[in-house]
Amino acid sequence: MDNIKIQTTQNVDIEYEVASIGDRILATLLDYLFFLAYFLIIAVISSFTEGALFDSIALGVILVLPILFYDLVCEAVFQGRSFGKMIMKIKVVKLDGTQANFGAYLLRWLLRIIDTRLFSGVIALIAIVINGKGQRVGDMAAGTTVIKMKQKITLNDTILNKVKSDYTIVFPEVYKLTDNDIDIIKDVMRVSLRTNNLGAIKKLAQKTKETMGVTVNLPDTQFLTTVVQDYSQYSFDK
């Protein structure tokens, strides 16, 4: 499957692998297994109570509503992932580098009727193949796509270290940064160090210095590592 460059809010491009059609289909099938398990649980409860807990209307609501709103609720709560997507390690992201909001998830959910319910998903399949960015119709409208998540890595594999109890903030100007800024820094560093993309790290370091209003001669990697540690301590002290 193709890779896609997502430009972060700090104007730094991060390259992600777009989730394949197979990944997305398997994630959907896994979600259907959760639906099946849910139906079986309701059936067992109903059999033990001889249907006393559910009248026909209540049973319909209990069976239909959770399935109807499953994708919307899961993606909104779990940041672009259903349980099937979690297992397949894929997630919904915005193409502009920001975290997808409820409005984006809602738009994807509403247009799922066109994408996957009509013609058994053929429309979604055609849209994804033609678009080239892993987008079905709902993704195009919401400005989202589905990517493969980073492989799990240990703390020793990352640039991040736990902040010691006696840690002293080096750059007090980190208060000018946001949680989203730090998430972007972490993502860029992790991806760029694995791919040896020093240009992206340099660009991010320069943008971060401008945002913070600092001038330092530290190597870019060391500077960004320090910023992340400073922000962790700053957030703890707030």
33-59 confidence digits (pLDDT tens):
999 999 888 888 777 766 555 666 777
98-155 confidence digits (pLDDT tens):
678 899 999 999 999 888 887 778 898 899 888 888 899 999 999 999 988 764 444 4
pLDDT of amino acid 77 = 93
Is 90 exceeded by the pLDDT of residue 234?
no
Give me 182's structure tokens. Answer: 């730090």
Query: The pTM is what?
Result: 0.64
147-196 confidence digits (pLDDT tens):
887 644 444 444 445 667 778 999 999 999 988 788 888 878 877 887 78
